[in-house]
């Protein structure tokens, strides 16, 4: 059974008797074994007050105009079926990795939105969201048991069979 979380006072009471070395070892264990989000939070707490974090630097490094051009090209190719059907404009390896390209473009569009040119980032995100909403495959109603053989005959080019054919 998992332990209940301590509140701040309980945590301070439990860590009060620890030496500096023991606290450093505990923090290192949390940092090293924790998730990426945990590591980023520890790094943010350890960074000097005026230091820029890695996430802030990457968000500022994104060129919104370049991101928008990449998004437009991706959306154009996706709508043309280049990633699914195969097209010379898209490399074969890139066809199988379109999901990663999409995720990268969404992330860069968000960064462009935060970088100051909100209209360019918003337009890029809008293009990607429109693509997702347009390419969703609608759920077709399930056919009943009747008419199954007739539907198969029509698909095979034999025409309808029986009373529905007018014979």
In this structure, the answer to whether residues 73 and 128 fall within a common structural domain is yes
DSSP secondary structure, 132-154, as one string: HHHSPPPPPPPP-STTHHHHHHH
111 in a domain, yes or no?
Answer: yes
| Of 19-28, 79-88, 123-132, the least confident | 79-88
- Give the three-class secondary structure for 158: coil
pTM strictly above 0.75: no
What integer best gives the mean pLDDT of the chain? 76
Q: What pLDDT, on a 0 to 100 scale, did the predictor assign at position 117?
A: 63
In this structure, the answer to whether residues 44 and 63 fall within a common structural domain is no
Both tokens assigned to 78:
């996706």
In this structure, the answer to whether residues 22 and 82 fall within a common structural domain is no
In this structure, the answer to whether residues 65 and 112 fall within a common structural domain is yes
- Model confidence at 140, pLDDT cuts 50, 70, 90, reads very low
pLDDT digits (tens, 9 = 90+) for 70-83: 999 988 888 888 87
For residues 10-37, give the mean pLDDT. Answer: 91
How many domains does the chain contain in total?
2
pLDDT digits (tens, 9 = 90+) for 25-81: 999 999 999 888 888 888 888 887 766 555 554 445 778 888 889 999 988 888 888
In this structure, the answer to whether residues 65 and 126 fall within a common structural domain is yes
104 in a domain, yes or no?
Answer: yes
Number of alpha helices (DSSP H) and beta strands (DSSP E) in the chain: 9, 0
Q: What pLDDT, on a 0 to 100 scale, did the predictor assign at position 1?
A: 55
78 in a domain, yes or no?
Answer: yes
164 in a domain, yes or no?
Answer: no
In this structure, the answer to whether residues 64 and 31 fall within a common structural domain is no
Q: What pLDDT, on a 0 to 100 scale, did the predictor assign at position 9?
A: 92
Cα–Cα dist 59/140, whole Å: 42
Domain containing 45: what range?
A: 8-51
Q: What pLDDT, on a 0 to 100 scale, did the predictor assign at position 144?
A: 52
In this structure, the answer to whether residues 47 and 67 fall within a common structural domain is no
In this structure, the answer to whether residues 66 and 121 fall within a common structural domain is yes
Q: Are 121 and 109 in contact (CB under 8 A)?
A: yes
139 in a domain, yes or no?
Answer: no
Q: What pLDDT, on a 0 to 100 scale, did the predictor assign at position 17?
A: 93
């Amino acid at each position: 059974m998992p332990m209940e979380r301590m509140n701040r006072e309980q945590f301070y009471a439990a860590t009060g008797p620890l030496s500096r070395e023991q606290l450093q070892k505990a923090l290192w264990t949390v940092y090293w074994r924790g998730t990426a989000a945990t590591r980023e939070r520890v790094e943010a707490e350890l960074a000097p007050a005026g230091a820029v974090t890695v996430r802030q630097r990457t968000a500022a490094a994104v060129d919104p105009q370049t991101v928008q051009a990449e998004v437009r090209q991706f959306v154009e190719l996706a709508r043309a079926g280049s990633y699914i059907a195969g097209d010379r404009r898209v490399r074969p390896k890139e066809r199988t990795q379109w999901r990663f390209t999409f995720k990268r473009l969404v992330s860069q569009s968000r960064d462009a939105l935060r970088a100051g040119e909100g209209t360019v980032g918003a337009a890029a995100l809008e293009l990607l969201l429109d693509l997702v909403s347009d390419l969703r495959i609608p759920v077709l109603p399930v056919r009943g048991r009747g008419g199954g053989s007739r539907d198969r005959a029509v698909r095979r080019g034999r025409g309808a069979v029986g009373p529905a054919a007018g014979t």
